Structure 1
Amino acid sequence: MNAAGSSSRFHEGELIAQRNANESDMAARNGANVSTHIVRGALPFVRQQKTVYIGSVDIDGRVWASLLIGEPGFLNPSDDATTLTIDLSKVARQPHDPLWENLRLDARMGFLLLDLQTRKRLKVNGDAHLDGDRLVVDVTESVPICPRYIQRRTIALSDPGSQPVPTGLQQGSGIGDAQRELIARADTFFLASVHETHGADASHRGGPPGFVQILPGNVLRIPDYNGNSMFNSFGNFLLNPQAGLVFPDYEHRRLLQLNGTVAMFWDQPDPAGVTGGTGRFWEFTIERWIETALPETLDVRFVDASPFLPQGV
């Protein structure tokens, strides 16, 4: 695929974001890696995964990010790599996750497959429908993603589909001290966005603990590091500022899901180097939050931090 051809796969918002960052040429080159099916060489990787991070849309157009933990094999790509089937009977279900209602209402879903131990990740987006206990995804695009900014962790959960998941629920509009503390020490979260016709998208964000700054008024300020230059999330936000964030707190087995809106800031002063040289920040205004529990037997252990993390905080 030539540069013009790979550029044509991007929607208007992505093209504007690429121009704003002066990375259009790099985006066009990386766009050649995007396929309308799962890369065949990645099929064994898909079948081995224990987690998937999902972007979905609720009945009011709000975007949410979710985490599913299952046993290897719960993600099953078709032999022709055009379909991904998720066996929900092999998943530890948190009943208060908006995902369960969203998947019945809006077919647009984005999936991020991330192996925390090897730092390998694959994006799969598509239109999904329920078939009994199975979520069947017709793949519209898929692309391997670079391993930068991922903190290595091991994750273990035996027989996820049979694990009792605590059903405790806290929710609100303005976050409290407990939620602020969780966010302030996080080194990882996941981000969901949506485009009207290109569908939903899920992506990873990692940084040193404290890289997410909490501002007054329920606003989070987050540096944007160098990435693959395609600006899928930022491109979506330029056209629809709705976003979902999910912060896994593995130490205390909590999950914090946030819904809100995004504003982007380009070419900003960054004397401390917290953006790693991009000068880009984005701010997320929290409108709703849900805090639930992860399975009590979940065992996640930190291995090491990404060697690519900027040194500024």
Structure 2
Amino acid sequence: MSLRDLPAGPVLPRPAAFQADAPSDALVRWAEMPVAVQVTSVTESDSTITIFDVIGEDDMGGGVSLRRIAAALSRIGPQAVTVQINSPGGDMFEGIAIYNLLRAHPAAVTVEVLGLAASAASIIAMAGDEIHMSPGSFLMLHNAWGVVIGNRHDMAEAAALFESFDAALAGIYAARSGRPQVEIAALLDAETFLGAEEAITAGMADGMVEGSAAGPLARSPQSGAQSRPDIQARRRIDAALAQQGIPRSARRAMLRDLTGTRNAAEPATQNAGIPLSAIRQLIDTIRS
């Protein structure tokens, strides 16, 4: 169990026809974060787990899933683990499940926020016995977010469920920070980005990453690797599509068809050169 007295995340019912996604403003900020060559969904090195993708597996094999984190913890065994995060969030249900898994780990869990821990990724971060921020990194908190398809009765039912989701999220943040739940609820309503020092002051983090340099991802296992502007460009396109209200599954399919890659966070395996005219046509089509 966690060395801290952290509450278990509740088991929440997933609404029918619900599609999870990261908030578009978190995707925009994540798209501007540095990217390096070997960034993958989840990699393990010794006792370190990295979470450098959206939360929740999609139908093209992308994203960070409960199954992948469970496999990593099983390989590491009952020893202290470090979880490094740079993620815009995603599936709240998967995020709470991963939080519960880390909370149940029998040894110390140290979380390092290397860039962005937004939405569901910030819930995962709360499982740390110690939470350390890199300079220039952010936590982002917001109310439950997703797409529900149906009639007005479906929408009313979803609204009631989302209210209970918000209360559950606020309870986790409040327990970790020691702040009143009503105060946390106000932060969720405001869709709050907390910088490193703000997160520490708010009780959402305990200190800075030891030996951290002057920017996000300074302690990443990929730091020092060659920059990958192609990956960053795909993230920017994904964020632009999200701002137009295109669901995650549709965005992934569009990017796969356009670039020949299965995942917006990974380098293309074919058609590596994306014509600028094709990108402009895609954006113009969405805006029309």
Q: Give 1 or 2: higher strand fraction.
A: 1
TM-score (norm 2): 0.28
TM-score (norm 1): 0.26
Q: Give 1 or 2: higher helix fraction.
A: 2
